[in-house]
Structure 1
Amino acid sequence: MALPTSTSTTTAITQQYQYQQQQQQQPQQKIGSNITATNTTVPATTVQKQIAGLQFSWVHFLAGGTGGMAGALVTSPLDVVKTRLQSSLYKSAPGSTAQRGLASVLGHIKDTCLILGHIYTKEGPRALYKGLGPNLVGVIPARAINFATYGNGKKLFTELNHGKETTMVHLSSAATAGVVTATMTNPIWLIKTRMQLQQEGVRQYRNSLDCIVQILRMEGIRGLYKGLSASYLGVAEGTIQWVIYEQLKTTLAEHRRQRREILNVAGTPGSASTMATYKVGGKEMEEWVHYLGAAGVAKFVASAITYPHEVLRTRLRQVPMKGEAPKYTGLKQTFQLVLKEEGVAALYGGLTAHMMRVVPNAAIMFFCYEAILHHFG
């Protein structure tokens, strides 16, 4: 009987010893596993974040470029009218709104339509799309850069603001995006403006490439950056537009949320409007309509406040008269000269055509932007 007892005791002692050894090794294994996990997980997490950030950048880049292209294609004829009305080279153009001082909005719209008809009749339908090539070449990268810089800037500024997305975050992001975009794309807009201001039979440039060559030859590299100072003034417009758009989006989203809560409490969710119940791409139709409305209103307000800089920029970019020195040499000089020779009304030349173009343009552009973000989100 002693043998079994001894064997049992030995077995028990052995098991207890093994258990103690396992208990002693467990913390070491945990530490080791943590170290291993930390060594492998941190780089993996960092890489994942970098990849996610890269995808984030390119989605905004793609969305902005696509939206800009769609808007430009639809509203190109109005862009031609707007540019001509802003220029001093077309004072005698029929329906030159700023020169005749028309106050009626309907009169402005009528004049814009008359100018469209005049261009179509006298210069042909292709004239309505003058500058579209360089315009698209400018719009696509400009909007892509602007939306990508804004989207990623907003993410960065939000993180710096302890995760709070405030109006100041929107303002800082928009201002940064505006400066970056204006600096990088000014030469393209200069060429577009020069091409649009050519009259049939008085063509100075054969095409966009010839325009670049002649500018470099006659005006130097600095010639490609004429109007940049006015473009920097335009940063205010983009900033105002983004801030208003974000605020309207937030307000409208809160309105939709409150209405849903009221309907749910009342137990009648089906009584909502058709737009609120019908979904497109996983979102309520009403939300898409709100995107359109918010973008249009934001652009209208921003443009109305900052429009004179558009006229000054166009004057600075227009080609000098043949055999004459440039009439407009700087932002301040241009502003003073326009006021002296043409009056305050000239600072709003082409405003109606501008509004008729930029409001639907902004609505289309932001709609496409939000749709692509939603699709890839």
Structure 2
Amino acid sequence: MASLENAFVGAVSSGLANLAVYPLDLAKTVIQTQLKQGNLASETPEGRVTDGYGSDSESQAKETKKKGVREIQPRPESPKDVRLKSLEERYRNTLDVIVKVYKTEGVQGLYRGLGASLLGSFIQSFSYFFWYTIVRRQYFKIKKVKGQAAKFSTAEELLLSMVAAATSQVFTNPVNTVSTKQQTRRGLGEDNSFLAVAKDVFEENGITGFWKGLKVSLVLTINPSITYASAEKLKDLIYNVEWNSKELNDSSLQLKPSQNFLIGVLSKIISTFLTHPLIVAKASLQRNASQFTSFQDVLAYLYRHEGFLSLWKGILPQLLKGVIVQGLLFMFKGELAKNIKKLLFMLQVYRKRRLAKTY
């Protein structure tokens, strides 16, 4: 398929897949951005730093400095931040998020931020598949001219996917930032529309606020890169798909819906386990009233205060949501691509018949 066709099919498939599991995405975001009660340092009226339970942490800070570990200093809390923290609900797991949100906000609450999320998903997928198709096709031509093996190696698949993903992130990060803030606003009674949240982002951090978390997003381009590189290799290993040395074709067209779904699930499991700490860091940076300034600070803070395993918190909803979405995306994309190919073929036949009748 052409670049635009492939991009459109990928974007529509991604939107449908994300719509199907959106409550899980909401629960995943809430859990990932939730810090343990009392962990974030706060300042007393006298100006002393406490550990969140009222005890003076000055001695702890001195002890930390002696050990040579840099103490993370969150930005000073504004009155709005304090109010946000006091209103923030605590959740135990994915089911707890869904049940509590449903009880307090109804079905509508489970889909807060849906518009921005679907918009971000559509733009990101469209941009990714557009650049992914172009980059792979151009590189394929270069290899043919040089007389090299047309089949891509794992390293080549990773690199090409990273280039495509990095390009798309620049365009989609603003929408993702607004969507994450919408999902993490809880019980505030404020306007949670896309424009209202976007206005808040601009007022708090200026135009650069829309690209908060871009650095970690660029690092996270390794996630889809691993996903799609793994998918191509899994197709070879499990189903032994045919490879055309003269033309770069879509191997998903050779597979059944269930086979495409399985490939999507397995490839996403691999990439999620490897990159989950960075996913947590990105969500924490983009959350409403975030007190972190870089993904290194998030990772260091979580490791120090919540332990090594906290870097994989929210992994179950992330996996549950991620593998289902990726499986559905691969399945929808494969079937849409097949139907579009059939439709284009039928249109071509119809045009030829009309031309034949004319002459």
Tell me if both proteins adopt one fold, taking TM over 0.5 as the criterion: yes
- Give the aligned partner of residue 156 of structure 1: 138
Give the deviation of 1:206 after TM superposition.
3.4
- 1:233 is aligned, of 219, 223, 227, to 219
SS in 1 for 2:185: coil
Could you tell me whether the CA contact under 8 Å between 1:154 and 1:169 is conserved in 2? Answer: no
- Give the aligned partner of residue 175 of structure 1: 162
- Give the aligned partner of residue 296 of structure 2: 332
In percent, how many aligned pairs have the same letter? 19
| Distance in 1, Cα, partners of 2:262 & 2:192 | 40
Q: TM-score, normalised by structure 2?
A: 0.72
Task: Supply the AA of the counterpart residue of 1:352.
Answer: L
Structure 2 residue 275 is matched with structure 1 residue 306: yes
Structure 2 residue 333 is matched with structure 1 residue 364: no
Give the deviation of 1:341 after TM superposition.
2.1
- 2:197 is aligned, of 204, 211, 214, to 211
Can you list the C-alpha shifts for 1:187-228, whole angstroms capped at 9, x where unaligned?
Answer: 00000000000112x145431101111211221011111111
Give the deviation of 1:342 after TM superposition.
1.8
- 2:118 is aligned, of 136, 141, 158, to 136
Structure 2 residue 25 is matched with structure 1 residue 79: yes
Q: TM-score, normalised by structure 1?
A: 0.69
Give the deviation of 1:147 after TM superposition.
1.4
- Give the aligned partner of residue 196 of structure 1: 183
Task: Supply the AA of the counterpart residue of 2:340.
Answer: F
- Give the aligned partner of residue 65 of structure 1: 11
Task: Supply the AA of the counterpart residue of 1:125.
Answer: V
Of structures 1 and 2, the larger Rg is shown by: 1
Give the deviation of 1:183 after TM superposition.
1.2
- Give the aligned partner of residue 288 of structure 2: 319
**Which consecutive residues of structure 1, in runs of 5 or more, have no partner in the other structure?**
1-54, 97-110, 258-282, 321-325
Could you tell me whether the CA contact under 8 Å between 1:134 and 1:191 is conserved in 2? Answer: yes
Task: Supply the AA of the counterpart residue of 2:25.
Answer: D
- Give the aligned partner of residue 250 of structure 1: 236
**Where in structure 2 are the equivalents of 1:281-300 lying within 5 Å?**
287-300=256-269
Give the deviation of 1:248 after TM superposition.
1.3
Change (3 A) 1:118 1:206: closer
| Distance in 2, Cα, partners of 1:374 & 1:348 | 37
Give the deviation of 1:128 after TM superposition.
0.7
Structure 2 residue 174 is matched with structure 1 residue 187: yes
Give the stretch that moved more between structures: 153-162 or 181-190. Answer: 153-162
| Distance in 2, Cα, partners of 1:90 & 1:191 | 24
Change (3 A) 1:296 1:84: same
Could you tell me whether the CA contact under 8 Å between 2:178 and 2:194 is conserved in 1? Answer: yes
Could you tell me whether the CA contact under 8 Å between 1:94 and 1:114 is conserved in 2? Answer: no
Structure 2 residue 114 is matched with structure 1 residue 145: no
Could you tell me whether the CA contact under 8 Å between 1:86 and 1:349 is conserved in 2? Answer: yes
> Moved runs in structure 1, 4+ residues, more than 6 A?
none
SS in 2 for 1:307: helix
Give the deviation of 1:355 after TM superposition.
0.9
Could you tell me whether the CA contact under 8 Å between 1:59 and 1:372 is conserved in 2? Answer: no
Could you tell me whether the CA contact under 8 Å between 2:277 and 2:299 is conserved in 1? Answer: no
- Give the aligned partner of residue 35 of structure 1: none
Give the deviation of 1:340 after TM superposition.
1.8
Could you tell me whether the CA contact under 8 Å between 1:76 and 1:132 is conserved in 2? Answer: yes
Task: Supply the AA of the counterpart residue of 1:319.
Answer: N
| Distance in 1, Cα, partners of 2:18 & 2:3 | 23
| Distance in 2, Cα, partners of 1:374 & 1:347 | 40
Task: Supply the AA of the counterpart residue of 2:206.
Answer: G
- Give the aligned partner of residue 119 of structure 1: 101
Change (3 A) 1:317 1:204: farther
| Distance in 2, Cα, partners of 1:255 & 1:153 | 22
How many residues were matched structurally?
Answer: 277
| Distance in 2, Cα, partners of 1:133 & 1:288 | 28
Could you tell me whether the CA contact under 8 Å between 2:29 and 2:184 is conserved in 1? Answer: yes
Task: Supply the AA of the counterpart residue of 2:8.
Answer: L
| Distance in 1, Cα, partners of 2:8 & 2:128 | 11
Give the deviation of 1:233 after TM superposition.
1.7
